[in-house]
Amino acid sequence: AQKVTQAQTEISVVEKEDVTLDCVYETRDTTYYLFWYKQPPSGELVFLIRRNSFDEQNEISGRYSWNFQKSTSSFNFTITASQVVDSAVYFCALRGSGGSYIPTFGRGTSLIVHP
């Protein structure tokens, strides 16, 4: 069975602070895919990044960076110099390579960035 844990329910920061959102996953599959999505207050889900299990290279995209650590089954997301527009709920998700196509989402972390 797959599981995604986002232990931080809500994080509150002041603008320009750096913030890291944690994601820990469990899967028996040797090949799997990890995703992060952003859900702003308007409600839509916005794809941020995909990471394959066989690619442990970390990624940076502007103020966003992702740290994939296979050894600890974590795929953490850092926002550098946070801005008010970063306020949203962020979901981490996992899809395995076994027979199922069903993705597993974490419960989400609500990030509030205060001006």
Least CB distance to another protein at residue 28 (A): 15
Q: Does 105 bind another protein (CB under 8 A)?
A: yes
Least CB distance to another protein at residue 10 (A): 11
CB within 8 Å of 71: residues ≥ 6 apart: none
Closest CA to 77 of 1, 2, 8: 8
Q: For residues 15-74, which are near another protein according to CB under 8 A?
A: 31, 33, 35, 37, 42-47, 50, 52
* DSSP strands (E only) in 18-73: 19-21, 24-26, 32-39, 46-52, 59-61, 64-69
Inter-residue contact 94 to 104 (CB < 8 Å): yes
Q: Does 102 bind another protein (CB under 8 A)?
A: yes
Where along the sequence are the contacts to another protein (CB under 8 A)?
A: 31, 33, 35, 37, 42-47, 50, 52, 91, 93, 95-97, 100-103, 105-108
